[in-house]
Amino acid sequence: MKPIISRVTQAAKLGAIAGAFGLLSAAPLAATAAWEPTKAVEFIIPAGTGGGADQMARFIQGIVVKHKLMKQPMVVINKAGGAGAEGFLDVKADKGNPHKIIITLSNLFTTPLATGVPFNWKDLTPVAMLALDEFVLWVNAEAPYKTPMEYIDACKKKGAAACKMGGTGSKQEDQIITVGIEQATGAKFTYVPFKGGGDVAVQLVGKHIDSSVNNPIEAVGHWRSGKLRPLCVFDSQRMPYKEKVAGDVAWADIPTCKEAGLSIEYLMLRGIFMPPGVTQEQVNFYVDLFKKVRETPDWKEFMEKGAFNQTFMAGEEYRKWLERAEATHKDLMQKAGFLAK
């Protein structure tokens, strides 16, 4: 019997030793577990309600909740003051806070360039490009114009800036495009700024303005209901979406402005940033989160309905794109006379 007892005792000792090593080896694994939020995440929108950035942020929030992609809640907050400067400065000041993210549009570049506000995109931490948003030249569906040049020629004949172009904010992307049209064609517009793209679309439906260069997502509902008409898209190629949207017309049927005789191109960033001073591990959590969002059927449907360019970037590729985009905006704004003095 003694050998049996000895073997059992030895086995117990080995088990205890193995268990101890198991605990020791598990400890560093627990300590190095991937970071994730421990409280609610504030999702800042540096724009008003109803616009493209607002719609996208709230849609993302819905996807995260629906598919349980994050344990903590995501709280959407609009901070549109100062053409988005309120939101950017808030995130810039919250150094090291991984529980705050911000969705950006072109005011990431245009607001500091136009106002001199002490902010630059490099003050934040780039996370990912979610997509690029198109711009479309819209008129009221009851207007007689079927092509952009028909509308522009009519505005040139009216003269004295008789045509009203509505847009989001002043010295922002909508007005930059408007000035570009003026410089390319000789037409003159009275630019009328509003708080968000949703307001712009409503004003065009009500005939309080004559045209807009709104994003697809901000006007698609009014197009579908027969209230607005798209004339051209400010991209180098037509949008790829062939499903019919309004009657028998699809996004892919809208000509580029260039092929319609108006040689202007412009795309807008829909990207995510964090405050400065966060860790790469914290950035990686959000990159992974947005990759999961993009994989959902909800997101794919949203992209098609909003006719987005679905380019995705993160890391160094994203940073280099931002550097080029900043230089492009500076050049455009300098030509338009919009740079802060």
Q: Which residues contact 287 (CB under 8 A, 6 or more apart)?
A: 127, 128, 314
Classify residue 187: in a domain, yes or no.
yes
Is the predicted pLDDT of residue 13 greater than 80, yes or no? no
Residues 197, 97 share a domain:
no
Is the predicted pLDDT of residue 240 greater than 50, yes or no? yes
* Domain end position, chosen among 193, 226, 253: 253
Classify residue 4: in a domain, yes or no.
no
Q: How many residues does the chain have?
A: 341
Q: Residue 261: its pLDDT value, please?
A: 93
Lowest mean pLDDT among 17-26, 94-103, 202-211, 222-231: 17-26
Classify residue 275: in a domain, yes or no.
yes
Residues 145, 122 share a domain:
no
Separation between Cα atoms, residue 157 and residue 11, nearest integer Å = 98
Q: Residue 27: its pLDDT value, please?
A: 47
Separation between Cα atoms, residue 69 and residue 84, nearest integer Å = 28
Q: Give buried/exposed letters for 122-142 (b at 16+ CB in 10 A, else e).
A: ebbbbbbbbbbbbbbbbbbbe
Residues 167, 115 share a domain:
no
Residues 228, 153 share a domain:
yes
Q: Which residues contact 184 (CB under 8 A, 6 or more apart)?
A: 262, 263, 264
E strand or H helix that includes residue 166:
strand 163-168
**How does DSSP assign 193-254, residue by residue?**
EESSHHHHHHHHHTTSSSEE---HHHHHHHHHTTSEEEEEESSSS-----SEEETTEEGGGS
280 against 105, higher pLDDT: 280
- Stretch 326-339: mean pLDDT: 91
Classify residue 24: in a domain, yes or no.
no
* Domain end position, chosen among 230, 253, 276: 253
Classify residue 36: in a domain, yes or no.
no
pTM for this structure? Answer: 0.78
Residues 119, 147 share a domain:
no
Residues 249, 144 share a domain:
yes
Classify residue 19: in a domain, yes or no.
no
Residues 194, 128 share a domain:
no
Residues 325, 177 share a domain:
no
Number of structural domains in the chain: 2
> 220 near 143, Cβ under 8 Å?
no
Residues 231, 143 share a domain:
yes
Residues 141, 88 share a domain:
no
Residues 199, 286 share a domain:
no
Query: What residue numbers bound the domain in which 113 lies?
Result: 41-133+268-336
Looking at every residue in the chain, the average pLDDT score rounds to 90
Classify residue 152: in a domain, yes or no.
yes
Q: Residue 32: its pLDDT value, please?
A: 56
pLDDT digits (tens, 9 = 90+) for 120-178: 999 999 999 999 999 999 999 999 999 999 999 999 999 878 999 999 888 888 999 99
β-strands 41-45, 74-78: how paired? parallel
Classify residue 20: in a domain, yes or no.
no
Is the predicted pLDDT of residue 116 greater than 70, yes or no? yes
pLDDT digits (tens, 9 = 90+) for 14-65: 444 444 444 444 445 444 579 999 999 999 999 888 778 898 999 999 999 9
Q: Residue 308: its pLDDT value, please?
A: 93
Is the predicted pLDDT of residue 326 greater than 70, yes or no? yes
Q: What is the CATH number for 154?
A: 3.40.190.10
Chain center to CA of 82: 18
* Domain end position, chosen among 203, 227, 253: 253
Residues 332, 236 share a domain:
no
Q: What is the CATH number for 94?
A: 3.40.190.150
Both tokens of 141, joined, read 């569906």
- Residue 273 carries which side chain, given as an amino acid letter? F
Q: How confident is the model at residue 341 (pLDDT cuts 50, 70, 90)?
A: confident
